[in-house]
Structure 1
Amino acid sequence: MVETEQQSSESSHAAIRTVALLLMRHEIRNLRRWFEEFDRDILLPILLGEIAMHNTGAFEHASANGNGGRNGRAEEGLPSSPDAWRTCTLRPCNAYSIAAATGLPRETVRRKIVRLVELGWVERRGNGHLFVTEVAFDHFGKVLTSRELSEVIETADRARKLLQE
């Protein structure tokens, strides 16, 4: 009996290591893509993502407070139609809040935001408020759905199979 439990434990650890390697390959492949997509500056996708999360955080907040989503899950409170994104109110952020969220120096964040504005992926409005542009939502939405979403699903399915064995 003890031997069977030990074999089961070893098998479980082997499966977890295999899944960890599978996930690592997936993440490294994505990091390389983002690195190239953002002119070899890995901080740009991080900052764009933080700005987008701040902007769209109102959806999660509404969902958590029962104003969206059946089970209080954030994804259920997100707009489902393409037109909803165009008419929704985005929550503003600024360089200071992004620096605080990422732990990066404020001056570094300011410089990188200038680049994101030049690329047309972020716009700066009154009082320094930052918003992800519709161009960025459309561009990266297409990138994510065309290649990465199917890879995430495939990787998750492979990981699930490995852990069930």
Structure 2
Amino acid sequence: MTTPQTERPAAGSGADHVHGQRLLRNVALLLARYEVRKLRRTFEEFERDILLPILLGEIALHNLGELENGHEKSERGSPAEDDQPCDQRVLRPCNAYSIAAATGLPRETVRRKIVRLVELGWINRRHNGHLYISSDALSRFGEVLQSRELPELLAIADQARRLMAR
């Protein structure tokens, strides 16, 4: 006799479909709880302005995009001279226009938020308008990702796998 936790409906039955739907709902709830906790923390860490992390993330992803697959430019001089993030690697520049296009936000909104990110020291802006994530932002948010976000996400993934294996 099987226990209710290990009992599985017969393959191809309507009960099998219901079981699958319940399983997907439980996994979706796990992920939703994680996302809401993450959004709340992010909201507080970014002065209760949810657009700041979106824009910082877009700028960082744009800057670091070539490093993702081990591709690095050999040019010098892209990041601000006094702030060489990523072990002196050259980052791919972006500007307010490209970030507005990437996010779908109005350019003026993006421009205002970038001013705030510069004031916070998380973005460096060159005289030509090129934007780069600062080493302070990489350090601060990289540590958060490694110490809190990534382990929590991996734990949620493990929970989801255990649910799916039942």
TM-score w.r.t. structure 1 length? 0.83
Runs of at least 5 residues in structure 2 that lack an aligned partner in the other structure = 1-8, 73-83
Equivalent residue, structure 2, for 1:50: 58
Match of 1:111 in 2: 112
CA gap of 1:84–1:122, structure 2 versus 1, over 3 A, is closer
Q: Are 1:29 and 2:37 counterparts?
A: yes
1:8 aligns with 2:16: yes
Whole-angstrom distance in 2 between the partners of 1:94 and 1:84: 18
C-alpha distance in structure 2 between counterparts of 1:90 and 1:114, whole Å: 20
CA RMSD of aligned residues (A): 2.0
Asked if residue 126 in structure 1 is aligned to residue 134 in structure 2, the reply is: no
Give 1:118 deviation, angstroms. 0.4
Give the corresponding residue for 2:4. none
Please give the alpha-carbon distance, in whole angstroms, between the structure 1 residues aligned to 2:65 and 2:149.
Answer: 23
Measured in 1, the distance between the counterparts of 2:132 and 2:113 equals 14
* Other-structure match for 2:160: 159
Residues in 1 aligned to 2:120 and 2:85: alpha-carbon distance in whole angstroms = 24
The AA in structure 1 aligned to 2:155 is E
Aligned to 1:85: 86
Give the number of equivalent residue pairs. Answer: 146
- Spell out structure 1 runs of 4+ moving beyond 3 A: none
How far off its partner does 1:4 sit? Answer: 4.3
- SS of the aligned residue for 1:126 comes to coil
Superposed displacement of residue 57, structure 1: 1.1
Unaligned runs of at least 5 residues, structure 1: 69-82
- Is the helix fraction higher in 1 or 2? 1
Report which of the two structures shows the higher radius of gyration computed on alpha carbons: 2
